A and B are shown apart, each in its own frame.
Chain A
Amino acid sequence: DTGVSQDPRHKITKRGQNVTFRCDPISEHNRLYWYRQTLGQGPEFLTYFQNEAQLEKSRLLSDRFSAERPKGSFSTLEIQRTEQGDSAMYLCASSTGLAGVTDTQYFGPGTRLTVL
């Protein structure tokens, strides 16, 4: 399977704990995106990387959230001091970055976070 992969698929944590998610994009995709989806809503953009550079961050990405893509391949999203409002599906997507206007994002299966 050469699609986007995410790990773990499910995470249950207690309020106040830190969690880290990993995303492996499609091989040779230059752009990597993080989104968050809550029940009944569409995905909401969090941040994106062009290779290792983080080029855009949403105001949804509070100081407790940090994302990295150190070598321009996989990415991690860390949430510090989790709150119950952080419970959501965290989705990762990647794109080639070479198709100009028609650059299409392909999504992974997501990590479902539950904060107790």
Chain B
Amino acid sequence: DQQVKQNSPSLSVQEGRISILNCDYTNSMFDYFLWYKKYPAEGPTFLISISSIKDKNEDGRFTVFLNKSAKHLSLHIVPSQPGDSAVYFCAARGASSYKLIFGSGTRLLVRP
């Protein structure tokens, strides 16, 4: 039973445009959400996070939105750059555990 789902395995956008990566979750007890970026042969790199008491968090070109009623979060990258091309994972953590539960990832390709 996948508690965190990334339904789009891949996304292609033009350089300079907005990239929107989506993530859905099923467990209403999740209280902290994170996005990681992963290049081949490297470990995941932390990008941005949001706690369940907020609905938006922004850091430079990256913004994460959380819609608790829909159990949905999204990562917006504006403007997209070729160096953003990587696999993006969303992850969630429950209030009673420190383990992260990851989605299966979305491969982003930013075309020059």
Q: Mark B80-112, 1 if CB is under 8 A from A, else 0.
A: 000000000101000101111111110000000
* Known pairs A101-B31, A102-B32, A102-B49; A45 contacts B42 (CB<8 A): no
Interface of B is mostly: strand
Is A65 on the interface with B (CB-CB < 8 A)? no
A107 and B97 contact, CB distance less than 8 A: no
| Chain A nearest Cβ from B99, distance in angstroms | 4
How many residues of A are in contact with the other chain, CB < 8 A?
29
CB-based nearest B residue for A92:
B43
Among the 9-residue stretches A12-20, A35-43, A73-81, the one with 4 or more Cβ atoms under 8 Å from chain B is A35-43
**In the complex, what distance in Å separates the CA atom of A77 from the CA atom of B70?**
38
**In the complex, what distance in Å separates the CA atom of A108 from the CA atom of B98?**
17
**In the complex, what distance in Å separates the CA atom of A112 from the CA atom of B40?**
12
- CB-CB < 8 A to A93: which residues of B? 43
- CB-CB < 8 A to A103: which residues of B? 32, 98
Q: Mark A17-57, 1 if CB is under 8 A from B, else 0.
A: 00000000000000101010000111111001000000110
B104 and A40 contact, CB distance less than 8 A: yes
| Chain B nearest Cβ from A77, distance in angstroms | 15
14 CB-based A-B contacts, threshold 8 Å: A42-B89, A42-B102, A44-B102, A45-B101, A55-B98, A101-B32, A102-B32, A102-B49, A104-B49, A105-B34, A105-B100, A107-B45, A109-B43, A110-B42
